[in-house]
A = this chain, B = another copy of it.
Amino acid sequence: MKALIPYKKKNAKSRLSPVLTQQEREFFVELMLRDVLLSLRNAQIEDIDILTTPHNGIPDDAGGNVLISKHDLNEAINEYLSCENDPIFIIMADLPMVRPHHIKEIVSRPEDIVIVPGKGGGTNILFIKDPSRFHVKYYGSSFLSHCNIARENDCSLYIYDSFVLSTDIDEPHDLIEIMLHGYGNSKKYVMEKFYMETGRQRARINASGDA
C-alpha cells in the first residue's frame, strides 16, 4: 500500500487570506502536511508520495518521495494511478485532524473504494484497492463523481462518515475546528495565533492580541 498526498505550497489557501498573510499560509500548509505525514507513519504507512508542482518546495526533512508534475491535479493523479498496482490511499494535505485510527479503519474496509466526503461535495480521502479499476475527478462535486466512477467500474463502495475528516481547512471558520478537535503542529499554531470568540452563536476565531 502507498499513500499519495497532493500538495501545493505557493500562495496556498487563498481563502484564509482574511486572517493569514501569504507567508503565514505557506508556513501553515507545511505544518498541516507534517501532521498528515505523522499520522500516516503512525498508522504504519511508510511508502508515501507527495505530489506537487514545480517550485512548491517540500521541506527536506518531510520524508516521503517527492513527485513533481506540471499537469492539472486530475491528470497528474490519473497518470500516477495508471502506473500502480497496489492499493493507494489518497489524502489531501489540508486534513491535519486525521489520526492514525482513521487511517487504519479506512484501509481495513473490505470494499473496493472508500470515500471520505468533504463539505460541499468534496472528496477528502480516497482509498483505492485496485488502481487499474478507478480514476479520479476532483473539483466541483467530486464526491458524486467518485461515487459514479465506482459504480461504472463495478467497484463496491463505502462512505466513511467523519466530521473531522470532512473538515478540510479552507476558510477562517475551519480553524475553529482545529482549535476544538485538532492535534499536533497545526493546533499549536492556530492556538498561538487566534482565540475563540463565543456568544450565543457558533464559535468564531479572532486574531489574538500578539498576532
> Is A166 located at the chain interface by the 8 A CB criterion?
yes
- In the complex, A57 has a CB within 8 A of chain B: no
Interface string of A147-162 (1 = CB under 8 A from B): 0000000000001011
**Residues of A contacting B: mostly:** mixed
A118 → chain B closest CB, angstroms:
8
Q: Which residues of B contact A180 (CB under 8 A)?
A: 117, 121, 141, 143-144
Q: Which residues of B contact A68 (CB under 8 A)?
A: none
Given known pairs A141-B196, A180-B144, A181-B117, the reply for A122 and B202 (CB within 8 Å) is yes
Are B198 and A140 in touch, CB under 8 angstroms? yes
Query: Which residues, 185 to 199 on A, are CB-close (under 8 Å) to B?
Result: 196, 198-199
A179 to B, closest residue via Cβ: B121
- In whole angstroms, how far apart are the Cα atoms of A74 and B180 in the complex? 22
Whether B119 lies near A177 (C-beta < 8 A) is yes
Within 8 Å by CB of A202, from B121, B161, B176, lies B121
Name A121's contact: one of B141, B161, B196 (CB within 8 Å): B196
Residues on the B chain within 8 Å of A201, using CB? 120, 139-140
Number of interface residues of A (CB under 8 A): 31
Q: A162-B161, A176-B121 are in contact. Are A140 and B181 (CB under 8 A)?
A: no
List of B residues within 8 angstroms of A183 by Cβ: none
Residues 30-49 of A at the B interface (beta carbon under 8 Å): none
Q: Does B140 lie within 8 Å of A200, measured CB to CB?
A: yes
Q: How far is the CA of A176 from the CA of B198 in the complex (A)?
A: 26
Top 4 nearest A-B pairs (CB, nearest first) are A120-B202, A140-B198, A163-B166, A121-B203
A–B pairs, 28, beta carbons within 8 Å: A117-B180, A118-B202, A119-B163, A120-B176, A120-B202, A120-B203, A120-B204, A121-B176, A121-B180, A121-B202, A121-B203, A122-B202, A139-B199, A139-B200, A139-B201, A140-B198, A140-B200, A140-B201, A140-B203, A141-B180, A141-B196, A143-B180, A144-B180, A159-B181, A162-B163, A163-B165, A163-B166, A166-B166
